[in-house]
């Protein structure tokens, strides 16, 4: 019998389905976020267990702030776990034509960061967090990366390590909601999210909810992906954030691809996951500082961490925060950099 195209496709599809169950999944764990209507998250781990020091990837789903779910991108999530990462995919409060979910949705994703660094740590998840997500999840990822320490977004007491994330990889997010309202109008999901159609009266609200507003020198490295043919979120939304960060010497790389809005336009969830896996080591290396344990002091504790990792780094995907210059080992150049900043904050 000649194997025809459709049969081959069915076979591929079957293999994909099998692969979906490779990762170890814990579903619907509650996280604490007062006022949330959907404070549950899923944790994916490699089926052969999570190695120490491997960063945690936080996935924030898309859906224009009113739709979508933490289970929307199963191939993407499974591929990341299969590459060795701990992956957290959380729901957050969604809006509707009658209900604004801002700033509750931001409170929720911040609360997930807190969960990772408290409950998640007890479950073996690393407090090193890389946030990623498409569309509305891209906007919330951008906001997580720029708004650490902004009180209006952080009603809960900070966890150990605070609300800083260590890298961000937003897909076709929105960085400037004023620009978006001017370019594309705000009636519909954007107005539902913020509870108001854009005009002079609510200008400050649109500014507050814009990730670009909060760009500062202490923001983490970022890699942005955005389609040049995106007719929902124009690609200037990523370009302008990239330029704002670069003007402060923050590492901000980007890929502007020929395509529209969504993982399918990018080449599929597997391609998107492969890009994230590829980018993480470089982004983490760009964000390293002599404050190795991230307690905002550069002191003997950091020195001890460095010495305990001397002349070696764990294998990827484990992070090697003492490798300050990112050359793959911990050595004299890293020590010199630490001693140079010793005693500062
Ligand atoms: Ca900031
Ligand atoms: Ca320190
Ligand atoms: Ca080094």
User: Is 0.85 topped by the overall pTM?
Assistant: yes
Pairing state of beta strands 86-90 and 167-171?
A: unpaired
- Please tell me the distance between residue 315's alpha carbon and the centre of ligand 3 in angstroms: 14
Residue 333 CA: which ligand is closest?
3
Residues with pLDDT less than 50, the chain: 1-20
> CB within 5 A of ion ligand 2: which residues?
291, 293, 295, 297, 302
Residue 22 is predicted with a pLDDT of: 57
Would you say domain 23-286 falls under CATH 3.30.420.10?
no
Residue 1 is predicted with a pLDDT of: 35
Who's near 301: CB < 8 A, 6+ residues apart? 293, 295
Measure the CA–CA gap between 325 and 280, rounded to whole angstroms.
Answer: 15
Residue 294 is predicted with a pLDDT of: 87
Cβ neighbour number for residue 314 with a 10 Å cutoff: 14
- Please tell me the distance between residue 162's alpha carbon and the centre of ligand 3 in angstroms: 26
For residue 86, the cross-strand partners are: 56
- Please tell me the distance between residue 149's alpha carbon and the centre of ligand 1 in angstroms: 8
Buried b (16+ CB within 10 A) or exposed e, 147-159: bbebeebbeeeeb
SS3 72: coil
What are the φ and ψ backbone dihedral angles of 27, each rounded to 5 degrees?
Answer: -105, 150
Extents of the domains making up the chain: 23-286, 300-340
Residue 312 CA: which ligand is closest?
3
Long-range Cβ contact pairs of 51-54 (< 8 A, separation 24 or more): 51/84, 51/314, 51/317, 51/318, 52/126, 52/314, 52/318, 53/126, 53/314, 53/318, 53/319, 53/320, 54/84, 54/85, 54/86, 54/126, 54/317, 54/318, 54/319
- Please tell me the distance between residue 289's alpha carbon and the centre of ligand 2 in angstroms: 9
Measure the CA–CA gap between 299 and 345, rounded to whole angstroms.
Answer: 9
- Please tell me the distance between residue 25's alpha carbon and the centre of ligand 1 in angstroms: 33
pLDDT in tens, 241-287: 999 999 999 999 999 999 999 999 999 999 999 999 999 999 999 99
**74: burial class by Cβ within 10 Å (0-12, 13-18, 19+)?**
middle
Measure the CA–CA gap between 160 and 82, rounded to whole angstroms.
Answer: 28
What are the φ and ψ backbone dihedral angles of 184, each rounded to 5 degrees?
Answer: -120, -5
Cβ neighbour number for residue 189 with a 10 Å cutoff: 18
Residue 344 CA: which ligand is closest?
2
């Amino acid at each position: 019998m000649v194997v025809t195209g459709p049969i081959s496709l069915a076979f591929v599809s079957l293999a994909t389905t099998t692969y979906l169950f490779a990762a170890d999944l814990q579903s619907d764990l509650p996280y604490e976020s007062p006022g949330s209507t959907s404070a549950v998250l899923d944790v994916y781990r490699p089926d052969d267990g999570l190695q120490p020091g491997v960063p945690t990837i936080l996935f924030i789903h898309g859906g224009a702030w009113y739709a979508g779910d933490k289970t929307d991108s199963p191939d993407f999530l499974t591929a990341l776990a299969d590459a060795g990462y701990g992956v957290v995919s959380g729901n957050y409060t969604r809006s509707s034509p009658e209900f604004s979910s801002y700033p509750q949705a931001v409170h929720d994703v911040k609360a997930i960061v807190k969960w990772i660094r408290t409950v998640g740590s007890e479950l073996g998840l690393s407090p090193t967090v890389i946030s990623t997500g498409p569309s509305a999840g891209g906007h919330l990822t951008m906001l997580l990366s720029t708004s650490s320490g902004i009180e209006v977004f952080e009603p809960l007491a900070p966890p150990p390590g605070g609300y800083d994330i260590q890298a961000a990889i937003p897909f076709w997010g929105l960085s400037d909601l004023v620009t978006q309202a001017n370019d594309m109008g705000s009636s519909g999901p954007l107005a539902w999210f913020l509870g108001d159609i854009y005009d002079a009266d609510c200008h400050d609200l649109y500014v507050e909810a814009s990730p670009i507003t909060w760009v500062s020198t202490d923001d983490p490295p970022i890699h942005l992906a955005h389609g040049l043919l995106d007719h929902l979120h124009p690609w200037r939304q990523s370009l302008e954030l990239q330029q704002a960060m670069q003007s402060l010497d923050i590492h901000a790389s980007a890929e502007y691809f020929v395509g529209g809005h969504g993982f399918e336009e990018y080449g599929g969830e597997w391609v998107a996951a492969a890009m994230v896996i590829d980018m993480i080591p470089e982004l983490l290396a760009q964000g390293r500082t002599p404050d190795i344990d991230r307690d905002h002091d550069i002191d003997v504790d950091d020195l001890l961490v460095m010495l305990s990792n001397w002349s070696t780094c764990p294998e990827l995907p484990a992070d090697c925060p003492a490798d300050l210059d990112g050359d793959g080992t911990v050595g004299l150049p890293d020590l010199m950099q630490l001693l140079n900043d010793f005693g500062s904050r």
